[in-house]
């Protein structure tokens, strides 16, 4: 069975100033999502599932209508801020989204096979897709998932600070923990992050999480039970978010799952800020000239 690609595309792009999921960045107006889907098809994925919001569903679907016909199966799942989850009769109403693992949970009805998770606004490169596709086809089990890590120096923005999950692996190269670091940026030839009012150096060759994960479909039930507990504990905390690394840490700590780390040396590109846009446009132009991608991407 071919694996599925789950793309988290429900964000509103507040820092970017618009729906970056459908912003044309390639030489022929391609979006970042399209490059990810192109790489996924080449790697052997059989289905793509978009997690989007009802409020921009029409615009989103119009952007991609017909592009993937005959190439890959397409499905949609919908995440609004308070999308209910089975087992929680009274999910608290709030304005801030419940987080990336909540976004994964809303797709449980359309995924029954091993699957990868990515962000809609990140370019990951072909290598990661090939590695995770091979893992999902041949190594994924009910207690063995994976994470595709990237070298920190290859993931930094030149236009502002970013947050990254710095990974610690054990002797078997399985994920031991993900340490969230905020306000990471270049400072001269060093990379630093901020914790409160203090600044600390971090190794630019550290492996970091870019929210590229591989799961067995049993993760839905495991995460659902965790989310029930999370909501109970954070009912009065409107800022608490149920992130994928939180679930991974809990599974690792309990011994319920292991996460062999797959490391890609590809450059990451993303559009966190509007100022990032020219860099990404130039990157796609260069990748096209080098023959890494056809132009136009879909023929």
Is residue 14 scored above 50 in pLDDT? Answer: no
Residue 261 CA to residue 163 CA, distance in Å, equals 20
* Residue 177 CA from chain centroid, whole number: 17
pLDDT tens across 233-269, in order? 999 999 999 999 999 999 999 999 999 999 999 999 9
Residue 295 CA to residue 47 CA, distance in Å, equals 23
Q: What percent of the chain has pLDDT over 70?
A: 97
Give the CA angle between residues 113, 207, 269 to the nearest 5°.
75
pLDDT (average), residues 166-187: 94
Is residue 96 scored above 80 in pLDDT? Answer: yes
Is residue 70 scored above 80 in pLDDT? Answer: yes
* Number of neighbours of residue 278 by Cβ within 10 angstroms: 11
Is residue 100 scored above 50 in pLDDT? Answer: yes
pLDDT (average), residues 219-224: 98
pLDDT tens across 151-170, in order? 999 999 877 888 898 999 99
Query: What pLDDT score does 18 carry?
Result: 55
| Residues 106-144 as b or e (16 or more Cβ within 10 Å = b) | bbbebbeebbbbbbbbbbbbbbbbbbbbebbeeebeeee
233 CB burial (10 A radius; 0-12, 13-18, 19+): exposed
If DSSP codes are grouped into helix, strand and coil, which group holds residue 183? strand
Is residue 179 scored above 60 in pLDDT? Answer: yes
Query: What pLDDT score does 16 carry?
Result: 46
Query: What pLDDT score does 276 carry?
Result: 85
User: Distances in Å between the alpha carbon of 217 and those of 4, 47, 125, 139, 249?
Assistant: 10, 14, 24, 14, 18
Is residue 3 scored above 70 in pLDDT? Answer: yes
Query: What pLDDT score does 213 carry?
Result: 98
Domain spans of the chain? 4-149+208-289
Query: Rg (Cα) of the chain, in Å, rounded?
Result: 18
Is residue 275 scored above 90 in pLDDT? Answer: no
Q: Give me the half-sphere count of Cα atoms (radius 13 Å) on the Cβ side of residue 14.
A: 2
Q: Which of these CATH numbers, 3.40.50.2300, 3.90.550.10, 3.30.300.30, 3.30.530.20, describes 4-149+208-289? A: 3.90.550.10
Is residue 11 scored above 80 in pLDDT? Answer: no
């Amino acid at each position: 069975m071919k694996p599925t690609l789950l793309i988290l595309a429900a964000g509103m792009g507040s820092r970017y100033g618009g729906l970056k999921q459908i912003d044309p960045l390639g030489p022929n107006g391609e979006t970042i999502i399209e490059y990810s889907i192109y790489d996924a098809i080449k790697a052997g994925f059989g289905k793509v599932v978009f997690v989007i919001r009802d409020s921009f569903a029409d615009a989103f679907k119009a952007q991609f209508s017909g592009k993937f016909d005959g190439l890959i199966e397409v499905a949609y799942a919908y995440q609004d801020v308070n999308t209910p989850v089975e087992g929680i009769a009274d999910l608290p109403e709030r304005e801030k989204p419940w987080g990336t693992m909540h976004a994964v949970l809303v797709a449980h009805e359309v995924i029954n096979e091993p699957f990868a998770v990515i962000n809609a606004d990140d370019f990951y490169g072909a290598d990661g897709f090939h590695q995770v596709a091979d893992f999902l086809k041949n190594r994924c089990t009910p207690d063995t998932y994976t994470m595709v890590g990237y070298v920190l120096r290859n993931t930094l923005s030149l236009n502002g600070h970013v947050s990254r999950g710095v990974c610690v692996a054990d002797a078997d190269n399985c994920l031991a923990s993900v340490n969230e670091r905020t306000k990471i940026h270049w400072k001269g030839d060093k990379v630093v992050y901020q914790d409160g009012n203090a600044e600390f150096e971090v190794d630019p060759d550290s492996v970091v999480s870019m929210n590229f994960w591989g799961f067995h479909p049993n993760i839905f039930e495991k995460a659902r039970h965790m989310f029930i507990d999370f909501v109970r504990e954070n009912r009065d905390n409107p800022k608490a978010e149920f992130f994928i690394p939180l679930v991974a840490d809990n599974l690792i700590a309990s011994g319920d799952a292991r996460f062999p780390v797959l490391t890609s040396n590809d450059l990451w590109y993303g559009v966190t800020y509007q100022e990032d846009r020219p860099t990404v446009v130039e990157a796609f132009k260069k990748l096209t000239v080098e023959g890494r991608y056809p132009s136009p991407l879909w023929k």
